[in-house]
Structure 1
Amino acid sequence: MADTKILFLVADGMGDWRVDGLGGRTPLEAAPTPNMDSLASRCIAGTISTVPSGMPPGSDVANMSLIGFDPAAHHTGRGPIEAAAQGLKLRPDDLVWRLNLVSLTAPDAMGTMLDYSAGHIDTASSLPLVEDLEHHLGDDTFTFVPGIQYRHLLVQRGGANSPEAAFAVRPPHDITGQSIAQDMATLATSPRLLALFHAAAERLNTPANATRATGIWPWGQGRPLALPDFSDAYGLRGAVISAVDLVKGLGRASGMAVIDVPGATGLLDTNYAGKVAAALDFLNTGGQFAFVHLEGPDECGHSGIVADKVEAVRRFDERIVGPLTQALAGTDTAIVVTCDHFTPLACRTHTTDPVPFLLHHASATAHGLPGFSEAHAAATGFTISPGHDIVRRILEIIRP
């Protein structure tokens, strides 16, 4: 089995708690998932502790674990990961912030976070806004870097050694509907960052801006990212397939191929077929480890809309898991199905719960589950902790 290939299928934020409106079931239990259930009928299943103790349960931390690297040793912040995705040329002492375009009731201590994504603003609408901010507000210290949709970057030259490097501005998706007074108090200790925040709000709140973006939100800052080479670490030629810069950055920083799929949006309407085709093409042309990431369930968890999250799980099963397992039937491919973290509808943000996973392969026969769910996976008692051991443990199972 030395030539066994590995396919990781990751539904971001799919894990959840039981929902009263679903008859006490989780979205994973409520959604029709015949393909995941079929894989679970003969597999090795359990849970993965993707978030090290004391670290925030973000997708940056959790996906770094799933790719096989210890966040406690390598994680510097969310902004630096997304900078790696863009191939930004950074100095060692630069500070890179994730910069959301957001909707605020007011850009001050009396304000409330209405929407962490400015109404899921599209890239065509957000790009000119960020370019305008860079043109009018960028200087020798701060550089606005356009990304996609609501996700952008702010580079603070030489900022890694500044007081701002230690700022704990909360992730905007954690505070939907809440006061931003706590975060404004933090920003207020940096006159230059606070001035930039207010100046950006002034430029965004004009009749020329027809979007819901009324402010910027700098968070997740850190020094430039450096990861070990994935191929050197695991002896596998790997690739990541995702709509979001976060996952692309982890892939690029670790020397993996980063495959862009046209029409991949990170939402319910993403190009599922394109992701399937990209994964199959990679595995059929010498690739050995394909990490296919779907953002939709996480976005639906943040929205708090139960029906949408159930639908996101259903589409993951029908349009990602099903076609890939059918296409790879009869090949020596180990299929892993999991999520990076829970995004419970009840709290609309990430939690540190260990995530369910299954490994389907001819050598993985310890468990026969009635279906794939958080409860069924946990009931096996098999746990991978620390979570970054996942790739190594899978290799031990399929290549004894």
Structure 2
Amino acid sequence: MKYVIVLGDGMADEPIASLGGKTPLAYAKTPELDKLAAYSEIGMVHTIPEGMSPGSDTANLSVMGYDPKQYYTGRSPLEALSIGVDMKLDDVAIRCNIVTLSEDEPYEKKTIIDHSSDEISTEDAKVLLEAVTKELQNETYQFYLGTSYRHCLIWSNGSVVELTPPHDVLGQTIGQYLPQDEMLRRMQERSYEILSRHPLNLERRKKGRKPANSFWFWGAGTRPSLDSFEEKYHKKGVMISAVDLLKGIAVGAGMDNIVVEGANGGLHTNYEGKAKAAVKALTEDGYDFAYIHVEAPDEMGHQGSVERKVQAIENLDQRVIRLVREGMDASGQSYRLMVLPDHPTPIRVRTHTSDPVPYLLYDSTALQNRDWHYSEAEAAASQNVLGEGWRLMNHLFSQGFDNV
């Protein structure tokens, strides 16, 4: 038996008036999910433990089978693992977003416009990161290039200070959300002074792109320690994601990462490449389990774009899930396929919430006509509820259905 999880980051949502009172997941044209749901178990799962922040870090740890209350030490340390940072015990890792701020006010009165700087390319981000680090980097503060707008700061002998995620305060004045630590705040302000007049941003403005004009620090944490996935579940696993956070979880869990060319975490990522890589890993390369992570629905939720979030879900259906199902069927190998979000990213709030999310579990060897569709409402109506998300992996690896 082979096992696959297809995770649509932030895919769950709330009913939206412009969609006729449907969620983007219920509204989207998803013929593949409809086909699978008719023969699958569906239900709801709580991926965010009570009292913890609804981030992709805690949520994906849950889905991967690691109780966040036991294993979570912060988001940025997981990302640091993915880019090869060897953290010391007294190091603190901090996420460094390159964001777009408004430009006509003093720094503390600026508004955060875009947490991703128009989904800036890694190539452009590298230029800007180098421009700032030439001045700010020293033995205490070391910067590391990540992917797109997502980068890393390692603070030697640092403190795990409280910092606000930029996607939580989109459209708001930033003053009350700036770091309380004096040096971190000064570095953010200085980054704006350097980047706002950088030639690359001057060119971006001419082209109608948002300037990538400030660093934003958040997600502080210490070095993580995850148990080996293979020892824990007796399955050889592989991660397929464009996002450093997911790659870092895989590194920490001793899983392999597959890098797919053109996979960028945006709406126009290489969906097909991810699907084909997973099928090859399972059918040719000896892996038992593949985790396919697609960031696009979450990014569109943060952007507040109903149309683009629907498009991201439809892309996931036809350009990932369909290809995985067809590839696995063609291989003749039996498999169990689970589809779910990690957390909701509702259009209404443009950030994450802690609400439970719908899951779908398909078993190629146990086809039963359920007459279900995959949506938040139908999953809730199924009355299948898993209260602790980290137990979901055991459910995937078990046999049969409806034993949550």
Q: Same fold (TM over 0.5)?
A: yes
Structure 2: distance between partners of 1:173 and 1:153: 17
> Does residue 11 of structure 2 align to residue 38 of structure 1?
no
SS of the residue corresponding to residue 248 of structure 1 reads helix
CA-to-aligned-CA distance 1:284-340 (integer Å, 9 cap, x gap): 121001000111111111111111111111110011111111111242100101110
Quote the Cα distance in structure 2 between the aligned partners of 1:209 and 1:311. Answer: 30
The superposition leaves residues 138-184 of structure 1 with CA deviations (integer Å, 9 ceiling, x where unpaired) of: 0111111111110001110011xx3xx132x2110111101112112
Pick the aligned partner of 1:87 from 73, 84, 89: 84
Match of 2:349 in 1: 347
Quick check: 10-19 or 209-218, which moved more? 209-218
Q: AA paired with 2:68? A: P
Report deviation, 1:79.
0.7
> What SS does structure 1 have at the residue aligned with 2:200?
coil
Does the 8 Å contact 1:228/1:254 carry over to 2?
Answer: yes
Residue 207 of structure 2 is matched in structure 1 by: none
**Offset from partner CA, 1:359-379 (integer Å, 9 cap, x none):** 111565677143111111111
1:201 aligns with 2:196: no
Greater alpha carbon shift after TM alignment, 232-241 vs 370-379: 370-379
**TM-score, with length taken from structure 2:** 0.93
Cα distance change, pair 84–173 in 1 and its aligned pair in 2 (3 A): same
- Aligned match of 2:164: 170
Aligned match of 1:5: 2
CA contact (8 A) 1:334 1:398 kept: no
Please list, as runs of the form range in 1=range in 2, the aligned pairs for 1:282-361 lying within 5 A after superposition: 282-284=281-283, 285-329=285-329, 330-361=332-363
- Matched residue SS, 2:347: coil
Residues 22-74 of structure 1 deviation map (CA, whole Å, 9 limit, x = unaligned): 00011111111111111111111111110001111111111111111011111
Instruction: Please point out which of 377, 380, 385 is paired with 2:379.
Output: 377
How much has 1:394 moved relative to structure 2?
A: 2.1
SS of match in other structure, 1:50: coil
Aligned partner of 1:311: which letter? Answer: Q
- Assess, with a 3 A threshold, how the Cα gap between structure 1 residues 39 and 209 changes in structure 2: closer, same or farther: same
- CA gap of 1:180–1:366, structure 2 versus 1, over 3 A, is farther
Q: Counterparts in 2 of 1:1-400, with a 5 A limit? A: 4-105=1-102, 106=105, 108-159=107-158, 162=159, 165-167=160-162, 169-184=163-178, 187=179, 189-210=180-201, 211=204, 212-284=211-283, 285-329=285-329, 330-362=332-364, 368-398=370-400
Aligned to 2:208: none
8 Å CA contact retained: 2:161, 2:181: no
Aligned-partner residue type, residue 320 of structure 2: I
Question: In the alignment, residue 371 of structure 1 is paired with which amino acid?
Answer: H
Distance 1:46 1:390 in 2: 11
Cα distance in 1 for partners of 2:118, 2:77 equals 25
What is the percentage of aligned positions where both structures have the same residue? 38
Q: What is the distance in 2 between the residues matched to 1:369 and 1:88?
A: 48
Matched residue type, 2:23: T
Contact 2:43 2:360 in 1 (8 A): yes
4+ residue runs over 3 A deviation? 362-367
Counterparts of 2:67 and 2:229, CA distance in 1 = 12
Give the TM-score of the pair, scaled to structure 1.
0.94
